[in-house]
Amino acid sequence: MSSSYWAVVPAAGVGKRMEADIPKQYLPLMGKTVIEHTLARLLQHPRIQAVVVAVSSEDRWWSERLFQDNERIIRVTGGAERCHSVRNGLESLMALAAPEDWVLVHDAARPCLRKEDIDRLIETLHDHPMGGLLALPISDTVKRADAEGSVMETVDRKGLWRAMTPQMFPLAKLYNSLREAIAAGVQVTDEASAMEWAGFSPRLIEGYSDNIKITHPRDLAQAEVFLKRQERGE
């Protein structure tokens, strides 16, 4: 029996670096909110069964009317940090999906995800024992700075990658790894780091560079450029 594919989107953050009055996932982007673009990219993929969205209990912006007719969106309560929101989302899936099913965790603020990237993840990892993630090899020269912002050293970029999302892992393995890492007080910045802590070696899969994460105000304009290019088939 072939495995099913599910998605989890942590969306409980407040986006402090955006310097906006609302969380970045609710900022307007080409007539929609950022998160609407993100969810649409996941829901449009024929292999993804449903998307679990982890939203803060104090969220004032999530509009049920935007998604109330879509039975493939499941809302859960998020946590204090991203890792807690993902854990909550995975926990809800444990009651719906098989332990060996695959889950793609994707940032709410990455609205430019291409279908080709999801295809590549699934095609590459469907028979992989532990999963992997989209990433980009680092091509720029990398500097390490001190607390004052002065250069301490130039870091060898050979073998260095910039992690992206989605990150795709077997549901039960990811849930157990993340839950145990949190319980041990390990700083988990993404799902791959939880899997690494548990002793696994996720595979890196090169993705498109336009799959940007909206973090600063200028990123909204860049995302609009990328979305328009994608609409033109570029």
pLDDT in tens, 20-53: 678 899 999 999 999 999 999 999 999 999 999 9
pLDDT for position 223: 97
Tokens of 94: 């444990």
Contact between residue 154 and residue 141 where contact means Cβ atoms under 8 Å apart: yes
CATH number at residue 200: 3.90.550.10
pLDDT in tens, 107-137: 999 999 999 999 999 999 999 999 999 999 9
Range from 31-35, 63-67, 160-164 carrying the lowest mean pLDDT: 63-67
Domain that holds residue 20: 5-231
- The count of structural domains within the chain is 1
Q: Could you tell me how far CA 99 lies from the centroid of its own chain?
A: 20
Q: Smallest Cα–Cα separation from 118: which of 43, 186, 180?
A: 43
pLDDT for position 157: 86
